[in-house]
Structure 1
Amino acid sequence: MNKEEFSPMQLDVLKELANIGGGNAATAISQMVGKFINMSVPTIEILEYDEIYEKIMGEEIEVIAVSLRMMGEAHGNFLFVCTEENAKKLVKMMLPPDFEMNEEMEYSAVSELVNIVVTSYLNALSRLLDISLFSSVPAITADMFGAILSYAYIENEQYDDQVMIIKNEFMYDGAKVDSSLYFIPRPGVLENLFQKIGV
């Protein structure tokens, strides 16, 4: 399915799923850290592989990325990406102000945050479709964005050329943190999803 083939109703369904998942994620993170962390209504774009570097982020930009596999009755990869600066801001949101942070703790906190976000999206989708979906253990890495995204494709040659990008904005105590969650579905996953929903 090419992005031009998505109907307005299908895109609305994806946006609503992202909205529900994002709200659940913000609530879960707030409960975990004991702070009110808000998450703006996520925006969704569906882009071809080459368009990502033109519209979203250059290949040579250094990023922190967390990857998780979607498993169960549908398969794909989630890839959470943010800059080093935004990763540190996310960690500050999650840890006490006087907490002494090191790289290991930073990576652990970001991985846990992404695990919560992805699980929230999968739970929303599972409830809507009455299917079983779960994620793998998160894996975090720091590298050039181009290398990380390329690896996500090479890892499984069955993946589509199109990528669903969910833009997230976390807010805490006046600070805003931008991040992107990339979903790379296996062929037929989105078509089957829409078929089950009836749109």
Structure 2
Amino acid sequence: MSNNFSESEIDLLKEMINVGGGNVATSISEIFGKRVHMNVPFINQFTYEQVFQTVMPAEKFVKAVQIQVVGDLEGQFLFILDESGISRLDQAYKEILKKDKKLANSAVTELANILVNQFLNAIIQLFDLSAQSLVPILAEDMFGSLLSSAYLEEFQYDDLVWIFKNEFWIEEQKWESALYFVPHSGNLEKLITEINF
């Protein structure tokens, strides 16, 4: 992906992530019945080493739901949730986690599916785009392995990578989860050109 985005183009990307993330925050609030707010969207370009120093250690073990998106907005969403993030879920979910791991994993996958589709719907409506998500896939691995694989799958081979991330807070406590977007090579440049045309 090019690193030659103008300031106005970066602002457009932030607006897309902000609008989509706002829908996600609303959905989380409705699902758990708690106040939720979102930080200003995190958009920056890093080397992989900087990602793992700034965002999350490469060796940290996480659950991740991978959801492919096709259409005008093409790429892959990663919903990352670590053990402390799971502990922020309500007591009923934690009881499920203790009793039935398979059922708990299904719940995490469905939650990610809902959140990604809410994110997509907001962007589609705002920018008059056409896009759809594919079947979600749950993975458990180290953060570094999952993130690197996502970039390779989207043909992003550069030493520098863009990180598009939303963080959420539930009742003033940070929920240790985040939604990342890994764009398909060249997709954002094409999309920005079409939106600004």
List aligned pairs for 1:2-81, cutoff 5 A.
Answer: 2-3=2-3, 5-33=4-32, 35-50=33-48, 51-81=50-80
Post-superposition offset of 1:169: 1.6
**What is the CA distance between 1:53 and its match in structure 2?**
1.8
Question: Per the alignment, do residues 181 and 27 of structure 1 end up closer, same or farther by CA in structure 2, a change over 3 Å counting?
Answer: closer
The 10-residue stretch of structure 1 (14-23 or 41-50) with the greater mean CA deviation from structure 2: 41-50
Aligned pairs for 1:185-196 (under 5 A) are: 185-196=183-194
**Partner SS, residue 11 of structure 1:** helix
**Deviations, residues 29-83 of structure 1 (Å, cap 9, x unaligned):** 33344x1341223422232451312321222111111111011233211112232
Q: Where does residue 81 of structure 2 map in the other structure?
A: 82
TM-score relative to the length of structure 2: 0.82
Take 1:56 and 1:186, find their aligned partners in 2: how far apart are those partners?
21
Alignment of 1:84-103 (within 5 A): 84-89=83-88, 91-92=89-90, 96=92, 100-102=95-97, 103=101
Secondary structure of the corresponding residue to residue 143 of structure 1: strand
- Does the aligned pair in 1 maintain the 2:164–2:180 contact within 8 Å? yes
TM-score normalised by structure 1 residue count: 0.81
The Cα offsets for residues 133-171 of structure 1, whole Å up to 9 and x where unpaired, read as 111122112211122123223434x23532332131231
The change in CA–CA distance for 1:187 and 1:155 in structure 2 (over 3 A counts) is closer
Aligned length: 191
CA distance in 2, matches of 1:39, 1:57: 21
Identity across matched positions, percent: 35
Q: Give, as a single letter, the amino acid of the residue that structure 1 aligns with 2:87.
A: K
Three-state SS of the structure 1 residue aligned to 2:139 is strand
CA contact (8 A) 2:72 2:191 kept: no
> SS at the partner of 1:100?
helix
Task: Determine if contact 2:17/2:166 at 8 Å carries over to the other structure.
Answer: no
- 3-state DSSP class of the match of 2:95? coil
Q: Contact 1:66–1:139 at 8 Å: present in 2 too? A: yes
CA distance in 2, matches of 1:55, 1:24: 26
Residues 177/108 of structure 1: CA separation in 2 closer, same or farther (3 Å cut): same
CA offset at residue 189 of structure 1?
Answer: 0.9
Q: What is the alpha-carbon distance in structure 2 between the residues aligned to residue 160 and residue 128 of structure 1?
A: 30
Q: Is the 8 A contact 2:85 2:176 kept in 1?
A: yes
| Residues 88-129 of structure 1: CA deviation (Å, up to 9, x unaligned) | 31x32xx648x7222334323322222222212211221233
Of structures 1 and 2, the one scoring higher in RCO (CA 8 A, sep 6+) is 2
Tell me how far apart the structure 2 counterparts of residues 57 and 31 of structure 1 sit (CA, whole Å): 28
In structure 1, stretches of 5+ residues that fail to align are: none
The CA RMSD measured in Å over matched residues stands at 2.5
**Counterpart position of 1:164:** 163
SS at match of 2:156: coil
| Closer, same or farther: CA 40–2 of 1 in aligned 2, 3 Å | same
Q: Check conservation: 1:68, 1:79, Cα contact below 8 A.
A: yes
Distance verdict in 2 for CA 1:77–1:180, change over 3 Å: same
CA distance in 2, matches of 1:109, 1:42: 27
